[in-house]
Structure 1
Amino acid sequence: MSSATSDTPAPESVDTTQPSIARVYDAFLNGGNNYEVDREVVRAVRKVAPEAADLAVENRRFLIRACRFLAGQAGITQYLDCGSGLPTAENTHNVVQRANPDSRVVYVDNDPAVLAHSQVLLKENENAVFVSADIFEPEKLLRDDAVRAHLDWGKPVALLQMGTLHHYNGEHTRTRKDIMRAYVDALPDGSYVAISHFLDPEDEYTATARKMEEIFLHSMMGSGTFSTAAELRELFDGLELVPPGLVRCAEWRPDAPRLAPLNAPQRCIAGAVARKP
């Protein structure tokens, strides 16, 4: 699929002079909803990690496998997908509604481009809605009328934070752990939380992780922190990790045996699914 160019007209609400997290991910996935300013970030990261697109690829694959588990094995029928990003071929509602057509999904993002594309995508799907909100203000988001109305908060909900928390820079003077605690406290018992996050593997690939981090943080995008496994486990405080626990995304319940060793970017993004007792 050919990508959009800086000459392609954009909606008035879309700022094409600044990279967007959603559009940078789209560019990594070779999507068609990004601009030159987004691809500049991609090219810079690829200079230190040529396979850097695998950060986005493994994040998306983990989302799909986690949703299959949640819908097929855990029996969850309600999903709050935070920082959902631009639509691709397999979105959360596609995966979970294949298992149960009555599954309800609330997508949340504050990117104008995501809003425009999602409204078109979900136009004829009454069980999936989009909410424009800041996912790093959980109390405000959870009070949103659409969130309250579309999900039954007396029954388990799956909270998805896929590739989102590493883009939090402390704007709301609280930690990522504090943000997750606010979400977890609001979830009904029996709910699930799925998180993927850039990983500092604390091995020979740490240098690559930190170089990628430096480019993300010092690009116009300005976010993209790599955390250690110990730091990521804190995000699941009070939850029961589903086997195999917190591992690299590529190693979380893979669809088939791996024939080649993981490359550097594949070693630098981790994920887990956990249950609230």
Structure 2
Amino acid sequence: MSETAPAGIDVRTANVARIYDFMLGGKDNFAADREAAEQIAKAFPESRDGVRLNRRFLGEAVRYLAAEAGIRQFVDVGAGLPTQQNVHEVAHSVDPSAKVVYVDNDPVVCVHGRALLANTSTVAMVEADLHEPETLLAQVAATDLIDFSQPVALLLVSVLHFMDDPYAQVTELRQALAPGSHLVISHMSMKDERSGDTDSVREIYSRTRTGVFPRTVADIRRFFGDYEVLDTSRFVTTSEIKRFAVLGWAGVGRSR
């Protein structure tokens, strides 16, 4: 992006979607985002590789859900800026008729997403907030792409750690899903041995509009409720899970 501020965009305040974009090697970011990303990388040198692994985990999870679990409906909440190997691209590589709805609460992200997806009839982008799950579900249903009476994959990838207490909201979303549905989560973790570094990252994100709330693995797993959590090594290697445990944890759950 040009450093000149387009209408409605605050380029002086770091934005979590643009920080993520920069770490993935994208160009939709500004100096404030790049500065924040560099500071995060100082606290956690593993962070850039971790962001790329997170993206690969998402792709592998979607591929598994489409190819092996037979899922044909995907709702990606907190989707952020479009990048390489988006959910609909991975799902369509298995079945071009798969339906995908992206959800984000950032109006600028949504405008960008709608422009890129304008000619794709099986994909939509809606502006909604995870803090208001009932409204979010209604807006997703209004696209006429997702039938909540049938299995759905709900993707909450790198979004829950930007909310201070999202358990009730996730429970409401999970309870709206039909039997055979799946839940995909990745989340920033909290480890005692790197607590100082985690505090540094908290301080960096406090300058954004969201803040960040890392959790223990046990607390992250609580989001799955009574879903069966699959073996994460199906999607990333065991060595990668160990290497990036200080950064985050990810899992795929299946309704029983």
The answer, yes or no, to whether TM exceeds 0.5 is: yes
Aligned-pair RMSD on alpha carbons? 2.2
Paired-residue identity, %: 33
Contact persistence 1:14–1:112 (CA under 8 A): no
Structure 1 residues 268, 145: CA separation in 2 closer, same or farther (over 3 Å shift)?
closer
Superposed CA deviations along residues 214-264 of structure 1, whole A, max 9, x for unmatched, are 332x323441221101111111111111124xxxxxx5533x685x8965x
Superposed CA deviations along residues 81-122 of structure 1, whole A, max 9, x for unmatched, are 001011111000000111011100000012233223211221
TM-score, normalised via structure 2 length: 0.91
Q: Distance in 1 between matches of 2:151 and 2:61?
A: 16
Query: In the TM superposition, what is the alpha-carbon distance from 1:180 to its structure 2 partner?
Result: 0.8
Query: In the TM superposition, what is the alpha-carbon distance from 1:20 to its structure 2 partner?
Result: 1.8
Q: 2:203 aligns with which of 184, 208, 214?
A: 214
2:168 maps to a residue whose letter is D
- Secondary structure of 2:25's aligned partner: coil
Contact persistence 1:80–1:157 (CA under 8 A): yes
TM-score, normalised via structure 1 length: 0.85
Query: In the TM superposition, what is the alpha-carbon distance from 1:192 to its structure 2 partner?
Result: 0.5
Q: Distance in 2 between matches of 1:116 and 1:129?
A: 11
Structure 1 residues 47, 225: CA separation in 2 closer, same or farther (over 3 Å shift)?
same
User: Which residue does the alignment assign to 1:168?
Assistant: 163
Contact persistence 2:124–2:143 (CA under 8 A): no
Contact persistence 1:22–1:111 (CA under 8 A): no
Q: Distance in 2 between matches of 1:272 and 1:16?
A: 34
- Secondary structure of 1:149's aligned partner: coil
User: Which residue does the alignment assign to 2:223?
Assistant: 235
Contact persistence 2:21–2:81 (CA under 8 A): yes
Segments of 5+ residues of structure 1 without an aligned counterpart are: 170-174, 245-250
Query: In the TM superposition, what is the alpha-carbon distance from 1:212 to its structure 2 partner?
Result: 2.3
Say whether 1:60 aligns with 2:55: yes
In the alignment of these two chains, the number of paired residues is: 256
Segments of 5+ residues of structure 2 without an aligned counterpart are: none
User: Which residue does the alignment assign to 1:177?
Assistant: 167
Structure 1 residues 116, 145: CA separation in 2 closer, same or farther (over 3 Å shift)?
closer
